[in-house]
Amino acid sequence: MSQHDLGKCVTDSLEQYFRDLDGEKPAAIYDMVIKSVERPMLEVVLAKAGNNQTLAAEMLGINRNTLRKKLTEHQLL
């Protein structure tokens, strides 16, 4: 899957979200999208890194402490 394909998935999901609102006011879209994408991303990258948090943080391009914080937030530790 290319970066473009991932973007299309997000676009399609957001379009469906707005259709499903059926006139209701949208709220906290940014947090909704980040939370929807972040957990599976962390799970997959951590698995690909063999549960090595240092390697996973490098793959993600983030600090290991930031990774641990995110893993805690998503109850993945």
What are 37-67's pLDDT values in tens digits? 999 999 999 999 999 999 999 999 999 999 9
Quick one: how many helices (H) and strands (E) in the chain?
4, 0
Instruction: Give me 48's structure tokens.
Output: 């690909």
Taking every pair of C-alpha atoms in the chain, what is the biggest distance, in angstroms? 45
Higher pLDDT, 71 or 6: 71
Whether residue 73 is predicted with pLDDT greater than 90 in this model: the reply is yes
In single-letter form, the type of residue at position 47 comes to A
Whether residue 4 is predicted with pLDDT greater than 80 in this model: the reply is no
Residue with tokens 């998935």: 9
Distance, in Å, from the CA atom of 20 to the CA atom of 22, rounded to the nearest integer, reads 5
pLDDT at residue 3, rounded to an integer = 64
Mean of pLDDT values over 19-46: 93
What topology does CATH give the domain 3-73?
Arc Repressor Mutant, subunit A (1.10.10)
Distance, in Å, from the CA atom of 68 to the CA atom of 77, rounded to the nearest integer, reads 8
This prediction's pTM: 0.80
